[in-house]
Amino acid sequence: MKSKNFLYSQKVAPYIFVLPFILSFAIFWIYPLITAFTMSFQDIGAIKSDWVGLANYTKLLKDKVFMIAVSNSAKYMFFTLVLLIPFPMLFAVLMDSNIVKAKGVWKAILYMPALTSVVISGTLFRLMFTEYKTGQMNLISQALGFGTYKWLKNGWSGMLALLVVACWRWTGVNMLYFLSGLKAIDTSLYEAADIDGASAIQKFRYVTLPLLKPTTVYVLTISVYAGLSMFLESYMLWAGNSSPNNIGLTIVGYLYKRGIEKNDMGYACAVGVVLLVVALIINFVQLILNGTFKKEED
Amino acid sequence: MNKQKDLSHSPKRILFTVLGTGFYALLCAIIAFPLLAGLLASFRPGTELIRRGLSIDLDFSTMTLNNYKYLFGGNVDSQKYFMWYKNSLIITLVSVVLTLFICYFVAYGLTMYNFPLQNVLFTLVIATMMVPFEILMLPMYKEIIALHLIDTYTGVIITGLCSASTIFFFRQYLGGLPKDLLSAARIDGANEYYISVKIILPLTKPAFASMGILCAMGAWNSILWPLLVLKGAEKFTLPIGLNTLLTPYGNNYDVLIAGSMFGILPIFVIFLLFQRYIIDGMTAGAVKG
């Protein structure tokens, strides 16, 4: 009876509620995270593992394939930020205005790519970027007078294909993020700006943009992570984890190749640690530049 | 009132409306194109896909239902396909139900009480969002092997049950409820667990709907983790199974394209039914930061 009262007390109950999180955090987050670090200093064998110090990291620095993967992931992240923040933001402003009719229909259609599994969308886009002359991309390029092109066999066009898939999947989602940010802006601010005789561009610059900042920072943060850790899109576009001359290889793709396909877990974990450090640094710098850590001034 | 009515019918105004709406119609046509083309292609022989890519000529005379007849035909491929479909349904259902309840209770504990570790724990919830899953993937894979959970549904589901974003969303929702409810129920003699299940939980139905749909989408389309954990073809989920049909020989493209289109169906139906909840749930983190 006493133990029952103990478990039912207001002091103990919260710990019971959060217990699943504590367990999951310990087993499926902190333990694997620490293991990722310790494994990166080891040569992981089937039976026994040896400590090799920084050997995995020094090998990484000289690994040309890894450098290709880093460069691909960095380019991909950069271009997704350029394409998937300003345009969805402008689309959201347009969607929020009263000159667009049938908004529900457009929002639903724009969201559909996000519902589609990467296996399916990757297959569809691989067929559209085929080197045969009946593929959509080649139809476009022929119509423009350029003839057919081997889209998935050349560096720049392979990156283009990845970016097209990214824009296709995330434009609608990011637009919805910005749209909900716009809905949170007090309309009286626009009325005040109207009274002051502000133009549409001035209203966007001095009211919308600053007040949309929390949303922008959020989208930026998730985009940095998504960009740097992209893997499946490339895996599906080239039907497996190998593209010609590694034009589609990403950091996570290399981690997968080393860890799962080549069973070199220690080296793969070093790749993972580099990815984590890069992602944290970029986001930290981004958050500082955006003043997220500063106290509210007002 | 009158003035506004006049404005909305001015020629300039109508022109802008046509341009604005036309822009979205065009954008949506581009976005919808790959899916529509895939749908059209599913009514053509699979061999044509390999030879010609996603052809979209609207020649109804050459369209057939053969791919779908084959897919539902009860043959070996069809049995395999529906086994994967069933596996995906089971995994999705179990993981959604467990994730929702676990995350609800964790968020409840973090929101409804004041206790010493509260802020530390919430910071840890946020911290788990800061590390991409892909970095933890290999150690977790080794862990799952050590726990003898490899090639089991438990192994697929268990690692994602405490989803930080779901806890975060429930916490925001619960934070908006009046705390008086708890003290009133306590005065009536209700115990802590009774209150959380019988009094507060019914109030959070919209949050359950939002998160349920988002979790279902995630689980149905999940690829990377099931790809590592599941080894036997009889345990594969639908995306993993479809992926195995992508052989260079392309002898399975009939099943692949029809199966892909039929595989999108459940999630599209759920989306169209519960669209409002999805957008609420998805954008919750973006506005309040």
Q: How does pLDDT run across B44-79, given as a tens digit for each residue?
A: 887 777 777 777 777 777 788 888 988 888 888 889
Question: What is the rounded (10 degree) CA torsion for A127, B133, B154, A256?
Answer: 60
Q: How far is B45 from chain A (nearest CA, A)?
A: 14
A residues 67..96 contacting B (CB < 8 A): 91, 94-95
Greater pLDDT, B105 or B233: B105
Minimum CA–CA partner of B46 in chain A: A127
Categorize the per-residue pLDDT at A2 as very low, low, confident or very high, splitting at 50, 70 and 90. low
Which CATH class for the A15-289 domain? mainly alpha
Instruction: Kindly indicate the confidence band of residue B129, based on its pLDDT and cuts at 50, 70 and 90.
Output: confident
- How high is the mean pLDDT of chain A? 90
Closest chain A residue to the Cα of B221, Cα to Cα = A117
In one-letter notation, the amino acid at residue B111 is T
Nearest to B49 among A29, A127, A184 (CB): A127
Q: What is the pLDDT of residues A22-52, one digit of tens each?
A: 999 999 999 999 999 999 999 988 778 889 8
Instruction: Scan residues 216-245 of A and list those with Cβ closer than 8 Å to B.
Output: 217-219, 225, 228-229, 231-232, 236, 239-240
Q: What is the mean pLDDT of chain B?
A: 87
Average pLDDT over residues B243-271: 82
Which chain B positions have a beta carbon within 8 Å of A240's beta carbon? 246
- Which pLDDT value is given to residue B34? 93
Q: Quick one: pLDDT at residue B87?
A: 96
Whole-number pLDDT of residue B249: 61
* Local confidence band at B123 (pLDDT 50, 70, 90 cut-offs): very high
* pLDDT tens digits, B132-144: 899 999 999 999 9
Which of A45-49, A114-118, A253-257 is most confident?
A253-257
Token pair of A249 as six digits: 């290889």
Show the tokens assigned to B144: 């799952």
Please report the pLDDT score of residue A98 as a whole number: 86
Asked if B118 lies within 8 A of A14 by C-beta distance, the reply is yes
Sign of torsion, CA A27 A30 A33 A34? negative
In whole angstroms, give the CA distance from residue A121 to residue A113.
8
Q: Can you tell me the distance from the alpha carbon of B39 to that of B67, in angstroms, rounded to the nearest whole number?
A: 11
Q: Which of B124, B282, B289 sits opposite A217 (nearest CB)?
A: B289
pLDDT digits (tens, 9 = 90+) for B38-52: 888 888 887 777 777
Strand, coil or helix: what is A43?
Answer: strand
Q: How confident is the model at residue B243 (pLDDT cuts 50, 70, 90)?
A: confident
Residue B285, pLDDT score: 61
Compute the nearest-CA separation of B158 from chain A (Å). Answer: 9
pLDDT of residue B254 exceeding 90, the answer is: no
Residue pair A186/B52 in contact (Cβ under 8 Å)? The answer is no
The pairs formed by B41-47 with CB atoms below 8 angstroms and a separation of 24 or more are: B41/A127, B41/B257, B42/B67, B42/B68, B42/B257, B42/B258, B42/B260, B42/B261, B43/B67, B45/B254, B46/B250, B46/B252, B46/B253, B46/B254, B46/B255, B46/B256, B46/B257, B47/B250, B47/B253
CA separation (Å) from A126 to B49, B52, B253? Answer: 11, 12, 13
Q: A–B: how many Cβ contacts below 8 A?
A: 270
pLDDT band at B3 (very low <50, low <70, confident <90, very high): very low
* Token pair for B150: 């490899």
Q: What integer pLDDT is reported at residue A297 of this predicted model? A: 46
Two structure tokens written together for B47: 């061999």
Q: Which two tokens stand for residue A281?
A: 């640094």
Interchain CB contact of A171 with B (< 8 Å): yes
> CA A146 to CA B183: how far, in whole Å?
74
| A98, A112, A117, A134: best to mutate for the B interface, most B CBs within 10 A | A117
Q: Are A183 and B286 in contact (CB under 8 A)?
A: no
Q: Is the pLDDT of residue B235 over 50?
A: yes
CB contact under 8 A, A113 and B275: no
Architecture of the domain whose range is B72-288: Orthogonal Bundle (1.10)
Interface test with B, best of A19, A23, A24 (most B CBs within 10 A): A24
Is the confidence at residue A17, as pLDDT, over 60?
yes
Confidence bin at B13 (pLDDT 50/70/90): confident
Q: Would the CB atoms of A252 and B124 count as touching at under 8 Å? A: no
Chain A residue numbers touching B274 (CB-CB < 8 A): none
**CA of residue A48 relative to chain centroid, distance:** 36
Among B186, B160, B185, B38, which Cα is nearest to B100's?
A: B160
Kindly indicate the confidence band of residue A240, based on its pLDDT and cuts at 50, 70 and 90: confident
Domain ranges of chain B: 2-68, 72-288
Residue of B nearest to A136 (CA): B54
Cα–Cα distance measured from residue B218 to residue B57, given in angstroms and rounded to the nearest whole number: 34
User: What are the pLDDT digits (tens) for B178-194?
Assistant: 888 888 999 998 899 99
**With contacts defined as CB-CB under 8 Å, which chain A residues touch B272?**
108
Mean pLDDT calculated for residue range B118-124: 92
Q: Is the ipTM of this complex over 0.90?
A: no
Chain A nearest C-alpha distance from B131 (Å): 7
Give CA B136 to chain center in angstroms.
Answer: 21
